[in-house]
C-alpha cells in the first residue's frame, strides 16, 4: 500500500472524488460540460488540471520527490463498520450463560479459539477466528440515544472521523488520486437498495473542517444532499449530474475512453507526469470501485446475500427492507472497502442502515430472530474479511473497527427484545498492527456495566488516530488546527492494544 503524504501539502490535490472523467473546455455561462465520443489529446489531458486551490495532480506528482515536509501519516488505513441501532452485548461477544434466563444470551453460546472464551451462539465463524482479533467487554458509549456518536460526535469534533484524517492527509491520495475519506452504504454495491439513513446523524458532517473533507459516498443520493455533495459539484465533468452516482455507467464510460486512447495513441509524447495523472484516474480509482475486477471466488466468499433471501424475511416488521439490504450488501461493502484501502483510501465508513435495534416491536425483531437476520451476515462478512486480509498479508495495514452507538438492556423485555442501553456495548477490532487475540476488560454479572476500567468512545478514537498517525510527528505540523491536535493526542488509546 503506498504511503500517504502528510501535513498540508496534499490538502489541495486534484478533485477526483468519483473517479474523474476527461473534460473539454467549458461553454461560457454553462454549468454543464458536453461529452464528445472522441475528445482530443489536449482535452483528455485537461483532466490532470482538476484542482482545488490551484495545485494540479501533475504538479503534485512532479513535486512529490522534492517535498521534504514532515510526514505524520502512517501507511495504514481504517475501516469503521458502524453497527447502526446498537448490537446486544450478550448475543455478541459476552454471552453470560451463568446468568438467569432473560439476561443471558438468547442464542446460547459457542466456544472460540481462545480457551475459556465464548461468543453468542450465532457467531460460529468468528468464534473460530477469535485469536485473530480482539474484543472489548468494557466498552461504554455513555447513553442510549440513537445517533452515530462513535463515528460523528463530540469525541470527533462533530465531524466524521474520516474527515479528521483527510484534514491532515489531504482529501485525495497523492499517488493514486483515491479519496482519503469514503463512506459506503448499500447503494454503493446495489442500486436497488435504500439510501442511507440520515435522521439519526449526518455521516457527511465535517464540523469545523469544511466541506472539502467530507466523505465521498458513491451511489448514495441521501448523503449527497449534504456536505459530501460540495466536492462533487466542484468537479468539471463531461457527464450529466444524474449519472455521477451511476457507478456502472461511470465505469463503462472510463472503459470506452481508455480504449480510445490506446487505439489512437493520444498520450504518445505526453509529459511524464501528465501521463501518470491520466493513468491514475483511468486506472486505480475507477477499478477500485469495480467488484467485477475481483476474483469471482473472492466475491463469492464475501457474499452474504444467500444467507438471507428477501423472501425469508417476515414483512410484519417495518424494518424488513433494512434487513434485506443488510444481508444483500454487507459482505460486498467490506470487500469494496478493502479494495479502496489497498489503493490509498485512509478511512472508510461502512454501514447498512438501521438494523441492530432489537426491541421486538412493530419495527424491529426480537433478539434471537435479530441475530439470524443481522448477526449471521455480520458473522459471515467479517470472517471473510479477516480471512482475506490474512491471506493477502494486509493484517498490519488495515484496522477494522466494529461497534454501534450503544448496546442493549441486560434484561430481555416481555416480547423477547432488548431495549436501548448506554451502559455497555460490544466492540471488535482487527488488524492495524495492534495486539490481537485478546479479551479486554470485563463486564458485570448481568452484562450491563463495565466491571473493570471503562473503555470510552474517546479511547477508541485515540486508538484509531494513533493507528493512522505518527502522533509525535503530528505535534510538529503547524497547519493542524489546535482543537484537532488536542482531540488526537490528549486521550489515551486502548493501552492493551498498543505495541
What are the Cα distances from residue 121, in Å, to 308, 416, 458?
18, 16, 30
Q: pLDDT tens, 404-449?
A: 999 999 999 999 999 999 999 999 999 999 999 999 999 999 999 9
Mean pLDDT over 215-243 rounds to 48
Is the pTM for the entire model greater than 0.75?
yes
Neighbours of 1 (CB within 10 A): 16
Contacts of 479 (CB under 8 A, 6+ apart): 7, 8, 11
Is the pLDDT confidence value at 5 over 90?
Answer: no
403: buried, middle or exposed (CB in 10 Å: 19+, 13-18, 0-12)? buried
Q: What is the pLDDT of residue 283?
A: 57
Tell me what the mean pLDDT of segment 263-273 comes to.
Answer: 59
* pLDDT-derived band at 367, boundaries 50, 70, 90: very high
**DSSP per residue over 282-342, as a string?**
IIIIHHHT-GGGS-HHHHHHH--GGGS-GGGS-TTSTTHHHHHHHHHHHHHHHHHHHHHHH
* Average model confidence (pLDDT) across the chain: 81
pLDDT at 41: 43
Cβ count near 452 (within 10 Å): 12
CB of 468 closer than 8 Å to CB of 78: yes
Residues 229 and 248: their CA atoms lie apart, in Å, by 19
Q: What band does 244 get if pLDDT is binned at 50, 70 and 90?
A: very low
CB 15 within 8 A of CB 52: yes
CATH architecture of the domain 77-159+293-497 equals 3-Layer(aba) Sandwich (3.40)
Amino acid at each position: 500500500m503506498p504511503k500517504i503524504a502528510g501535513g498540508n501539502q496534499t490538502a489541495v490535490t486534484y478533485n477526483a472524488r468519483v473517479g474523474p472523467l476527461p473534460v473539454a473546455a467549458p461553454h461560457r455561462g454553462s454549468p454543464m460540460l458536453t461529452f464528445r465520443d472522441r475528445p482530443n489529446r489536449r482535452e483528455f489531458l485537461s483532466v490532470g488540471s482538476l484542482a482545488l486551490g490551484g495545485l494540479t495532480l501533475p504538479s503534485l506528482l512532479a513535486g512529490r520527490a522534492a517535498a521534504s515536509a514532515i510526514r505524520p501519516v502512517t501507511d495504514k488505513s481504517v475501516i469503521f463498520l458502524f453497527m447502526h441501532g446498537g448490537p446486544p452485548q450478550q448475543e455478541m461477544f459476552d454471552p453470560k450463560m451463568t446468568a438467569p434466563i432473560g439476561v443471558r444470551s438468547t442464542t446460547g453460546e459457542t466456544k472460540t479459539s481462545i480457551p475459556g472464551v465464548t461468543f453468542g451462539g450465532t457467531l460460529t465463524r468468528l468464534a473460530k477466528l477469535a485469536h485473530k482479533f480482539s474484543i472489548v467487554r468494557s466498552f461504554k458509549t455513555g447513553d442510549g440515544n440513537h445517533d452515530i456518536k462513535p463515528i460523528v460526535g463530540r469525541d470527533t469534533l462533530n465531524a466524521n472521523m474520516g474527515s479528521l484524517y483527510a484534514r491532515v492527509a489531504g482529501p485525495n491520495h497523492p499517488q493514486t488520486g483515491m479519496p482519503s475519506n469514503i463512506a459506503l452504504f448499500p447503494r454503493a454495491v446495489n442500486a436497488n437498495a435504500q439510501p442511507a439513513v440520515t435522521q439519526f446523524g449526518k455521516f457527511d458532517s465535517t464540523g469545523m473542517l469544511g466541506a472539502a473533507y467530507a466523505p465521498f459516498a458513491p451511489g448514495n443520493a441521501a448523503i449527497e444532499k449534504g456536505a459530501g455533495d460540495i466536492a462533487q459539484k466542484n468537479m468539471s465533468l463531461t457527464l450529466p449530474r444524474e449519472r455521477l452516482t451511476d457507478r456502472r455507467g461511470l465505469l463503462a464510460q472510463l472503459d470506452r475512453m481508455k480504449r480510445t486512447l490506446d487505439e489512437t495513441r493520444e498520450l504518445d509524447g505526453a509529459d511524464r507526469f501528465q501521463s501518470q495523472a491520466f493513468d491514475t484516474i483511468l486506472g486505480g480509482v475507477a477499478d477500485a470501485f469495480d467488484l467485477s475486477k475481483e476474483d469471482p471466488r473472492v466475491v463469492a466468499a464475501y457474499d452474504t446475500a444467500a444467507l438471507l433471501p428477501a423472501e425469508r424475511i417476515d414483512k410484519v416488521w417495518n424494518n424488513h427492507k433494512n434487513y434485506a439490504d443488510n444481508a444483500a450488501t454487507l459482505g460486498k461493502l467490506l470487500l469494496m472497502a478493502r479494495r479502496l484501502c489497498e489503493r490509498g483510501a485512509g478511512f472508510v465508513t461502512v454501514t447498512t442502515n438501521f438494523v441492530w435495534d432489537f426491541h421486538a416491536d412493530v419495527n424491529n425483531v426480537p433478539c434471537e430472530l435479530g441475530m439470524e437476520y443481522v448477526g449471521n451476515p455480520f458473522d459471515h462478512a467479517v470472517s471473510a474479511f479477516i480471512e482475506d486480509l490474512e491471506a493477502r498479508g494486509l493484517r498490519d495495514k488495515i484496522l477494522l473497527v466494529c461497534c454501534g452507538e450503544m448496546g442493549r438492556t441486560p434484561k430481555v423485555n416481555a416480547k423477547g427484545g432488548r431495549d436501548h442501553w448506554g451502559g455497555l456495548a460490544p466492540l471488535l477490532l482487527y488488524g492495524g498492527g495492534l495486539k490481537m487475540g485478546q479479551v479486554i476488560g470485563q463486564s458485570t454479572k448481568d452484562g450491563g456495566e463495565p466491571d473493570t476500567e471503562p473503555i470510552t468512545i474517546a479511547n477508541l478514537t485515540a486508538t484509531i488516530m494513533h493507528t493512522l498517525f505518527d502522533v509525535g510527528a503530528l505535534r510538529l505540523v503547524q497547519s493542524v488546527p489546535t482543537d484537532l491536535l488536542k482531540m488526537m493526542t490528549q486521550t489515551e488509546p486502548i493501552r492493551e492494544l498498543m505495541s
